[in-house]
A and B are shown apart, each in its own frame.
Chain A
Amino acid sequence: MIQPQTHLNVADNSGARELMCIRVIGASNHRYAHIGDVIVAVIKEAVPNTPLERSEVIRAVIVRTSKELKRDNSMIMRYDDNAAVVIDQEGNPKGTRIFGVIARELRQLNFTKIVSLSA
């Protein structure tokens, strides 16, 4: 359940460390973002000497949430943190490596590049 002002970790090596959500992409009253939703975020903390800098507005896709994710086979998954992967307008990740575990739902949402980069 990511909403504006939520701070998220970054799960790739794009250069950002921490993001703050400023908008959930979707309908005008799309309140919360879950795993697989795209958000507009601002970089709050960045690794030095990388293309991305602090206070840059970028798009990202949510890959882990502390809010439970329910599956059709009655399984419920919950991660310990909220994390996102920085993407460009087409949906391709800006980084080259993905850290941490990724939910299988991203494969169905056409983020296949992210899924293939993760373990």
Chain B
Amino acid sequence: MSTCSVSKGCFVFKPSTKKRRLSEKTDHYFRSTSNDSEDTVLRFITCQSLWSQIKSETEQIQEDMNKQLLDNLVSFLSRSHSDFQEKTTEWTSRMKFREIPTAALVLGVNVTDHDLTFRGLSDVLQNNITPYVALLEAKDCPGIKNLMQKLMGQLMNCDIDVDSLEDEDCVQVSQNKIRCSMPSLISWYESVTKKTDSETPSEKRNSSSRHWQSPPVVVVFKDMESFTTKVLQDFIVISSQHIHELPLVLIFGIATSPMIIHRLLPHSVSSLLCIELFQSLSCKEHLSTIIDKLLLTSHFPFKLGEKVLQVLINIFLYHDFSVQNFIKGFQLCIVEHFYSQPLSVLCCHLVDIKKRVYSLSHDQCENIRRLPSFRRYVEKQESGKQIELLTNDSFLKEETEKLLEDLHVYHENYVSILRCLHVFTSSLPKYPLGKQIRELHCACLENQVWETNEYESSLQLARMLNKTDLVTMLQQCVEILVSSSGKEFDKTVKHLKEFLTQFQNLEASEASQEQDVSVSSQKELQKKTDLYHLQKTLLELKESRRSKKLTKFEMLRFEVVDYIDRLVRKYLVPAGDRTLHEIVYFNAATVLRGHLNAAPRTALHTALNNPHWYLKNEALKCDGGGISNKAPDICIVYKLHLECGRLINLVDWLEAFSTVVTAAEEPNGDAASSDQVDDIIHARFIRAVSELELLGFIKPSKQKTDHVARLTWGGC
């Protein structure tokens, strides 16, 4: 059994309780904390259904992304043992050394995502190529013996899975009984393939028509890097001797680079392999697709705020590159949002909004009135309406429904215009607004994007685009807007199309004009001969160009950029400015950071250094670096040990401890005079020190017997 703990130790595993009871409990969790009628059950149901939608969507995306890779692998596998099928006796195949076909599968450093890929891989293989797939992990195979055991266990089990339904007399061998050697594997393989041959044709069609008569045996090494050299070498040497009887294919899952094969295997062993390289899509592209499909869409009512999205993306880019963790974080956001925000019951699809708004309780209406964005909205209304909004529940509900619908429309428009803007900004030199759409999205969410310097500079750059680029971009924008679900874009599309036709009309007229100007200036240039005059005319020419009336193309270009600018200002308003955005946007970035990016060292230090922070006891509050004697013993010991060097003298430490503890109790210094330390204080000190040792701050030192060594900062 494995744990998710980072530390080593003993873990207790209780037998898992029944699943049904668990699911009953979970909606209870939602309810117990909020005791009022805040639609907790409905919120829980909404949360569950939303998550299941998102989950299926992400799985679909994952499958699509891996499709190319898996197809390549399948074709490789089907090719790999073609000569085993045909049993050719040609000269070349006779002379050639039979190498083990090997696929080196480079998957990137995000090891946590690999499991999903391998699961997909083994599913695909079992459906298309062979039922005999074994997945091996380095931690299960410290020696060749364990590897063989694991391999045979998996292979023979999978066979039993397939056959046990139909025939009872199949060899029920317990794993311990069989000899873990290649010959027994080969005899198993022969018996299995023979059995499929002898099956009746009708049966054959059902069970194994997808596979060939002698399907290859695929062995997947999930984490190539962690395998020891000896195990791999031995396994390859052994299996290469039996490649004629057992069509084996190896798949190496590689996290770093394929060079690891040469590092792990000497030439004498790697020459037994026929290695082909397969590369999975980079995890960054994977993330872009996920963001594109999950966040930049109006399918899901739930949205992430700028800060939260930034936290998730930062964890991805700075720490783990793991798409799985990103999705987990997203899931946490959903749960947290529906749990902590009572109004999240309104975070649902447009069709349900009306019903839900009208069934809101009075408490919930008060909740709405308390929302900061709603208060801002109220303040902007005239006084009569203000009173209505604040006192009349049914009027408030009507208004809320309207506002929520507005919010929905805003999202639809936002996504389309964001994509249009991205078309422009992603092709500018140096990418002032970022190369990826996620960066642009964050910038737009954060504040009014048109007020930033980056936006200004990108507009400036856009004004210098050449015609062909501009035309293709406009065409892309038209495509995006046409395919978008927003209803307001008919006019915009018409406008953009007009621009396009204008550009086309320009072509003919412009060409002739341009030539005239350039020719005349060229002539002037040729007349002047001496340096001074040449310089002068060049300056004049430059001057005239600057002040020169803009060409038609340039004018049009300005118009286009201005039009885009207007669209941005209209539609890309940051979500924080919209009324009722709290209902669909999750913004609690600090909560998320606390959950996902925990800082154990800092937390421990805070707890020991400033116990008031966690214990909320006023008496513990201390200012400055002083040590209060009311603090728990371990805190006092910890603070004292911070002042010491690498080695701490236990006697001195005890002395200091007893001074601190007794200081307030007996201010007249009665105990200080006697050098005998109280037994109770001594015991408390020993307990505190051993607690500190358990936490890993100190350890007994071998250098001096009455000293302990510090293990943390300042220890060296």
**A and B part of one assembly:** no
A residues near B, CB below 8 A? none
B residues near A, CB below 8 A? none
